Amino acid sequence: MAPTPPSRRRRSWWGWGWEDQALTEDEIAELAAFLNRRFGVEPDLRPKPALRNSMLPVPRIAPPDPLRPIADVSVHERARHTYGRAFRDVARALAGDLGGAPDAVVYPASIADVARVLEWCDRARVAVVAYGGGSSVVGGVEYRGEGGFDAWVSLDLTRLDRVVEIDTTSRAALVEGGIMGPTLEGRLRPSGLTFRHFPQSFEFSTLGGWIATRSGGHYATALTHVDDLVEGVTVVTPAGELRTLRVPGSGAGPSPDRLFLGSEGALGIITEAWIRLQARPVFKTAAGVHFARWEDGVAACRALAQSGLQPANCRLIDAVEAVTFAGVRDGASLLVLGFESADQPVDAAMERALELCRDHGGVVPQAPSTGGERDDAVGRWRSSFFRAPYLRDALIRLGVIVETFETACTWQAFDELHAQVTDAAARALQEVCGIGWVTCRFTHLYPDGPASYFSVFGMGRRGSEVAMWDEIKAAVSEAVLSAGGTITHHHAVGRDHRPWYDRQVPELVRSGIAAAKAVLDPGGILNPGVLVDPR
């Protein structure tokens, strides 16, 4: 029996989010006209493929009787769980390329169910890929045959969605790993507390997925990485279950939690976590600052990051992105700046931050606003930000190669990294697509350096889009590493970043991770090929 769907609305099997939220055909026609005006191209719209049984391989295994009630082998669910949601995933799904679909999707409803699934898979030599929201953009939730398993299951954890306990004294909660962002915040709301972790993928990603990928929320500074918000974890592995001690801090050797932060489903299944909560902010203010020169905006961001002011939002968006998504028409880069607090007014902090910006040539066209709907560059950028994944899917249907990549480096290295990466992307776009552009913004700021996020747009050739993107991605990844950046700041490693990750992480550390995997997952069934090679 198939599990009851969480709601009547259906998730798209090939693209982002809800099927009913995709751009309408009229909106897509407008987008095509825009591409034509801007680039002189005549985009040809790829139809949404109709899902048919024959597009998927016949399942090679059947879950044993006790697991059948929690297994689903329907075409829609197997197709939906075939890939994550990167450009190359959506492009492959749209092309009807579902040959690598999981043999079954299994939905455990308890920690005991997870242990039973792992026990069966270990015995039957079936690979297991943990699946939270499936929003991976690095090939983290598919299986490409590593380790030679004949069959694989996608272990969908979204039925593990309870808030088990809230400790209001310590401001922490015990929460199951498959809970999605909105459900988590909804269940915390009566306590007046919040997890305050909002990746752009918040609506369709899970606590376990965030921990397994070390995700970054949309706050620019301070507590924004999920790493800092985890107090302890419960993990089920083929070798048994473990629970780390729940404490605010500990100097007892290497941190057990840290072993599982960023473990990407390769070391165990995160079934529960104690997470740190915060009071809901009530004081909020936001402003947009224009910088005629990108370099001045960068210098202002460094001053802000090193000032101790800790803005909640501090996103420097370059001029191309600012005109396209925020309607900034004066050719300036836009800094979206925001402060919030649950405890005290934030106007003084904003005032000081704007002073720092002006010292670096920033212009503030409009007084800071204290929240609500905004009809200015900040408001326009914010609404396009949340609609962006649906827009991206429409662009892919129109044949556009549209993807992002991100990194972090020191302030000392940044100018050179920005120049090298932008240049590598522009050259690759020219060679591969003939036409295209690259933009950059800051997503997170640290006193010692920024996390920069690049978006790439180019016209693809039907049928070659994935190979074309892979060529561009290889070029920019080489540039990132050679300029001293990390191959990922918050998107994780998955399968797509492995070659560069292997060069970035000391070999002895990778051998240590492989040794830990051999203990926790002796059969090597967990997400084979991710982080380390199968034995």
Using CB under 6 A, list all residues that contact ligand FAD.
16, 84-85, 129-137, 140-141, 157, 177, 199-201, 205-206, 208-210, 212-213, 215-216, 264-265, 269-270, 389, 490-492, 527, 530
Supply the minimum distance, in Å, between the C-beta of residue 158 and ligand FAD.
9
Supply the minimum distance, in Å, between the C-beta of residue 100 and ligand FAD.
15
Which CB atom, from 136 or from 486, has the smaller least distance to ligand FAD?
136
Query: Vertex 349, ends 343 and 353: CA angle to 5°?
Result: 155
Supply the minimum distance, in Å, between the C-beta of residue 293 and ligand FAD.
27
How far apart, in Å, are the Cα atoms of 397 and each of 45, 90, 186, 432?
Answer: 6, 9, 34, 19
Which CB atom, from 138 or from 424, has the smaller least distance to ligand FAD?
138
Q: Which residue has the closest beta carbon to ligand FAD?
A: 209
Which CB atom, from 360 or from 497, has the smaller least distance to ligand FAD?
497
Tokens 């919030």 belong to residue = 340
Supply the minimum distance, in Å, between the C-beta of residue 317 and ligand FAD.
15
What are residue 234's DSSP bridge partners?
A: 243, 272
Supply the minimum distance, in Å, between the C-beta of residue 18 and ligand FAD.
13
Supply the minimum distance, in Å, between the C-beta of residue 467 and ligand FAD.
21
Which CB atom, from 177 or from 368, has the smaller least distance to ligand FAD?
177
Query: Vertex 256, ends 250 and 257: CA angle to 5°?
Result: 90
Sheet with 283-291: list strands edge to edge: 283-291, 333-341, 313-317, 436-446, 449-459, 400-408
Count the residues in the chain.
535
Tell me the C-alpha distance between 76 and 19, whole Å.
12
Supply the minimum distance, in Å, between the C-beta of residue 235 and ligand FAD.
8
Which CB atom, from 389 or from 436, has the smaller least distance to ligand FAD?
389
* HSE, side-chain direction, 13 A CA sphere, residue 65: 0
Q: H-helix or E-strand containing 270?
A: strand 269-276
What are residue 127's DSSP bridge partners?
A: 152
Supply the minimum distance, in Å, between the C-beta of residue 523 and ligand FAD.
17
Percent helix, strand, coil in the chain, to 5, is 40, 20, 40
Supply the minimum distance, in Å, between the C-beta of residue 169 and ligand FAD.
27
Nearest C-alpha neighbor of 187 from the set 204, 199, 173, 171? 173
Measured from the Cβ of residue 434, the count of other Cβ atoms closer than 10 Å reads 11
Which CB atom, from 274 or from 291, has the smaller least distance to ligand FAD?
274
Which CB atom, from 197 or from 360, has the smaller least distance to ligand FAD?
197
Supply the minimum distance, in Å, between the C-beta of residue 273 and ligand FAD.
9
Chain-centroid distance, C-alpha 212: 11
Backbone Cα Rg of the chain: 23
Which CB atom, from 140 or from 449, has the smaller least distance to ligand FAD?
140
Burial class (CB in 10 A: 0-12, 13-18, 19+), 255: middle
Which CB atom, from 139 or from 368, has the smaller least distance to ligand FAD?
139
- End-to-end Cα separation, the chain, in angstroms: 36
Question: What's the maximum distance between 2 C-alpha atoms anywhere in the chain?
Answer: 69
Which CB atom, from 191 or from 200, has the smaller least distance to ligand FAD?
200
Measured from the Cβ of residue 148, the count of other Cβ atoms closer than 10 Å reads 10
Residues near 150 by Cβ (< 8 Å), separated by ≥ 6? 60, 61, 125, 126
Which CB atom, from 175 or from 476, has the smaller least distance to ligand FAD?
175
Which CB atom, from 370 or from 386, has the smaller least distance to ligand FAD?
386
Question: In 3-state terms, what secondary structure has residue 66?
Answer: helix
Tell me the C-alpha distance between 17 and 40, whole Å.
31
Supply the minimum distance, in Å, between the C-beta of residue 192 and ligand FAD.
25
Supply the minimum distance, in Å, between the C-beta of residue 142 and ligand FAD.
9
